[in-house]
Chains A and B, each alone.
Chain A
Amino acid sequence: MFLELYRVHLFIMKFFREAVSPPYEGKEILKQCYQVGYKSLALISLTGFITGIVFTKQSRPSLAEFGATSWLPSLVGIAMLRTLAPLLTSLISAGKVGSSIGAELGSMKVTEQIDAMEVSATNPFSYLVVTRVLATSITIPILTFYTALVALLGAYVNVSMSESTSFSAFVQAFLESITFLDIIASTIKALVFGFTIGMVGCYQGYNSSKGTEGVGKAANSAVVVGMFLVFIEEVIATQITFLFRT
């Protein structure tokens, strides 16, 4: 257990060491970013939109009791931006992207493709791990704002069915309720989630055990461990942002 933690520590340290030293794999990072976005986009759009509709619909009765349905945009907006969008995006990415990184690197490890890269004088760690972790760290924050946007659209669809709020008034109400701190906090949070998902996927794949069974295990642990860590980080992040708000 402690040995494992120590190895994780070494792996993360190695990431930072390799990330700041050449060669920089710009092209490969872009390619991986595209992969991350492409893999999650459809599912994120759907989930975000539906969550927006459902969340708004569920919240309406409680607010209606106080005659406060006009608060819906701010309530939905804050909930989305602060928690739901980062969490939804990361969990979906952990499932789609984390598992595919785990499986891809795992099979490369098992079939000696990583060794082959190393003997042809390419540093496999920079080429495979650093690029993927950077890609998830960059792309998941972007996807998070996209999710929030789609969810707001969903919320507006629901709002427009019951109230005669115009879209611009809806957006106005949302913008007034959020703060700069919300945006910063969510960006940082999504970045940490993205880093975690990429790191866990790569660690599991890169250290996958021999045999095809090892590949399956790597993909599976990438999802389970990735999601688990994202939840823990969410709890910690919420505590920290509360400190800032008060």
Chain B
Amino acid sequence: MLQKAKTENKKAVITIRGIEKSFGDYQVLKSADLDLYEGENLVVLGRSGTGKSVLIKIICGLLQQDSGTVEVLGSKVATLSSKELMALRLRIGFSFQNSALYDSMTVRENLEFPLVRNKKKLTKGEITKSVETVLDAVGLSQTINQMPSELSGGQRKRIGIARTLILRPEVMLYDEPTAGLDPITCIEINNLINEVQQRFKTSSIIITHDLTCAKAVGNRIAMLLDGHFQRVGTFDEVFATDDERVTPFYDYNFIQ
């Protein structure tokens, strides 16, 4: 039986309308529309190179769309001054595909960095406490004095997530959180994403091409095909189709 995704009467945190983005002659996004509702985990599925990373970089203002509008937490991203954009970014967490930890800093310094830079009024004790809280949330308290180069891929990913959580974001953007990790670590990361949703009350967009991850964390799935979102709904709804651009995903992930 098909579940109906419950999206009515929910407040949209991110509203994307008709965005287009080209690099040179190559049009990556073609009139893409998407809504992220408060408190949900929305999975964006798509093949490599379909513009998933471009999409979330546009959401946090790292890239600018050619046309269309992106509204995040009530502000139109492209129209913000750099100061307003900074303020908005404090409310958005971004987990990078390769974690993007600062190589030259220890785990503690990595985690402190966003706080020291943005919350100048905090005391040393308060900062230490925040660091310990997020480290505990990702289950890596013992790594506090290690360098990023000493961590495994899964640990780096967790520290990257912890670093964004330390600013208590309302929106989380995960870029391929399970890419390149072994299956067991993938499950741990999936659980972490769900815990973050519960514990920190975030609304999240999770980008992936890993269906196990999509199924485990997604309240809703949006499939990015040919530059826009063609199939949006629950996992079962999205895959109840014969579309040969969609079925190979399913076959590869489950029937292989």
A residues sitting closer than 8 Å to B (CB atoms) are 104, 107-108, 111-113, 115-123
Contacts and interface: CB of A to CB of B under 8 A. Distances in A.
Contacts of A111: 98, 100, 103
B114 A121 contact: yes
Contact of A120 (B97, B103, B164): B164
Given A107-B103, A120-B164, A115 B62 contact: yes
5 contacts: A111-B103, A115-B62, A120-B89, A120-B117, A123-B86
Kindly name the residue among B86, B94, B100, B102 whose own CB sees the greatest number of chain A CB atoms within 10 A. Answer: B100
Interface in B164-199: 164, 167
Given A115-B62, A116-B94, A121 B100 contact: no
Given A120-B163, A121-B114, A113 B89 contact: no
Q: Which 7 pairs show the lowest CB-CB distances between chains A and B? A: A116-B100, A112-B100, A120-B114, A119-B94, A121-B86, A121-B89, A122-B117
A113 B86 contact: no
B60 interface: yes
B144 interface: no
Contacts of A104: 104
A67 to B, nearest CB: 58
Contacts of A119: 60, 62, 89, 92, 94
Given A107-B103, A115-B96, A115-B100, A120 B113 contact: yes
Interface in B87-140: 87, 89-90, 92, 94, 96-98, 100-104, 113-114, 117-118
A120 B86 CA distance: 8
Interface residues of B, number: 25
Contacts of B98: 111-112
Contacts of A118: 62, 89
Nearest to A23: B117
Contacts of B96: 112, 115-116
A111 B60 CA distance: 18
Contacts of B90: 120-121
Contacts, number: 57
Contact of B117 (A107, A115, A116, A121): A121
Contacts of B92: 119
A63 to B, nearest CB: 51
A89 B194 CA distance: 56
B243 to A, nearest CB: 32
Contacts of B118: 120-122
Nearest to A122: B117
Nearest to A119: B94
A1 to B, nearest CB: 19
Nearest to B92: A119
B213 to A, nearest CB: 20
A209 to B, nearest CB: 14
Contacts of B87: 121
Contacts of B62: 115, 118-119
A111 B148 CA distance: 13
Contacts of A112: 96-98, 100
Contacts of B167: 120
Nearest to A115: B62
Contacts of A122: 113-114, 117-118
Interface in B136-170: 163-164, 167
A116 B173 CA distance: 12
B117 A113 contact: no
A68 to B, nearest CB: 54
B164 A113 contact: no
Given A116-B94, A121-B114, 17 more contacts: A112-B96, A112-B100, A113-B101, A113-B103, A115-B62, A116-B100, A116-B102, A118-B89, A119-B92, A120-B89, A120-B90, A120-B117, A120-B163, A120-B164, A121-B87, A121-B117, A122-B118
Q: Which of A112, A120, A122 has its CB near the most chain B CB atoms (within 10 A)? A: A120
A108 B100 CA distance: 8
Contacts of A120: 89-90, 94, 113-114, 117-118, 163-164, 167
A112 B148 CA distance: 14
Contacts of A121: 86-87, 89-90, 114, 117-118
A104 B102 CA distance: 11
A104 to B, nearest CB: 8
A56 to B, nearest CB: 42
A112 to B, nearest CB: 4
Nearest to B104: A104
Contacts of B89: 118-121
